[in-house]
Amino acid sequence: MSINESEHMQIAILDDYQGVALDYGDWDSVYRECDVTVFRHTISDHRQLVEALECFDIVVAMRERTPFPASILEELPRLKLLVTTGSRNRSIDLTAATAHDIMVCGTDSPAGGTVELTWGLILALARSIHQHDTALRSGSWQLYLGNELQGKTLGVLGLGRIGSAVAAIGRAFGMEVITWSQNLTAGAARGSGADLVSKDELFQLSDVLTIHLVLSDRTRGLVGDSEIAQMRPTAYLINTSRGPIIEEGALMSALQDRRIAGAAIDVFDLEPLPADHPFRGLENMLLSPHMGYVTKEAYEVFYTQVVEDITAFLRGSPIRILAPATT
């Protein structure tokens, strides 16, 4: 995995949970000039992360698993290139990176895996698939009635690339699709086969409400007590976007009191989800470990282009450079 030649540049690959990063992309071309070290687990402690990375020239980040705020970047004087999978990474302070002469590059980001996982979670909730699996393994048989989706209302919070694809599948199931986001127009909604409604109406009318927004100051905590309180007691809430968009306490309370029928959550405020997190004890909650983008097809794109970014950097012709926002 590493080549012990002192003149080689040092590369760290972070958060490779499955240990597969080196299976994708032409890493042999990188080994000729660099040593590569793979970290399988997230390092969440500030000091431990700095100590682990202070000897590396290049760091490869898997999405937003490890944040890089200014306080981390300023303590990594050797770091020259930070490559993130995906075309944006809001956990990297791009302004601070520029100030410290750290180039940040990205990759393309296929959306299909997240769209498919969203529907896998919706179907699992509607038909109690996960609960039936557990019950069947313990000797039981047919404990719950399922819910059909045809004729029900799908609410899509955020109608971008992923939300639009989720909406299209909802229509294929014969669902009425409604949507809202802050700057969405009625024309854009109609173009994706959805009806634009108010924020309150989205929560009031949806039988299934699925979130597809980018995490920002504007969307953090967007779904809280008042929003969840408007949902039907038979409704399901799905989040494959980012954890902090939903206030965890509000969701916890609603599920404990059974004010909504259930929730399927792929993303969390703190990841990996702590072993003692109370979400783990809720039977009306379906949990998945932030795996919307975790597919062979996406990883092929990610790490192939990571290698291309590193190779281009070594040759002095970097590609896919991410720049700080101008507004």
Q: Which domains does the chain have, with CATH numbers?
A: 9-110+295-315 (3.40.50.720), 112-287 (3.40.50.720)
CB-based burial of residue 38 (10 Å sphere; 0-12 exposed, 13-18 middle, 19+ buried)? Answer: middle
Catalytic residue among 65, 227, 290, 308: 290
Q: What is the pLDDT of residue 5?
A: 44
Please tell me what DSSP assigns to residue 85: S
Record the pTM.
0.92
Q: What is the pLDDT of residue 274?
A: 95
84 phi/psi in degrees, rounded to 5: -110, 140
Catalytic residue among 271, 277, 300, 320: 271
Among 272, 274, 270, 213, CA closest to 245: 213
Decide if 271 is catalytic: yes
CB of 156 within 8 A of CB of 210? yes
Q: What is the pLDDT of residue 325?
A: 62
Q: What is the pLDDT of residue 113?
A: 97
- CA-CA distances (angstroms) from residue 297 to 113, 162, 292? 9, 16, 12
Catalytic residue among 64, 65, 242, 308: 242
pLDDT in tens, the chain (327 residues): 333 445 789 999 999 999 999 999 999 989 999 999 999 999 999 999 999 999 999 999 999 999 999 999 999 999 999 999 999 899 999 999 999 999 999 999 999 999 999 999 999 999 999 999 999 999 999 999 999 999 999 999 999 999 999 999 999 999 999 999 999 999 999 999 999 999 999 999 999 999 999 999 999 999 999 999 999 999 999 999 999 999 999 999 999 999 999 999 999 999 999 999 999 999 999 999 999 999 999 999 999 999 999 999 999 987 899 987 654
Decide if 220 is catalytic: no
Q: What is the pLDDT of residue 3?
A: 38
- The pairs formed by 172-175 with CB atoms below 8 angstroms and a separation of 24 or more are 173/149, 174/149, 174/150, 175/149, 175/150, 175/151, 175/208
Decide if 242 is catalytic: yes
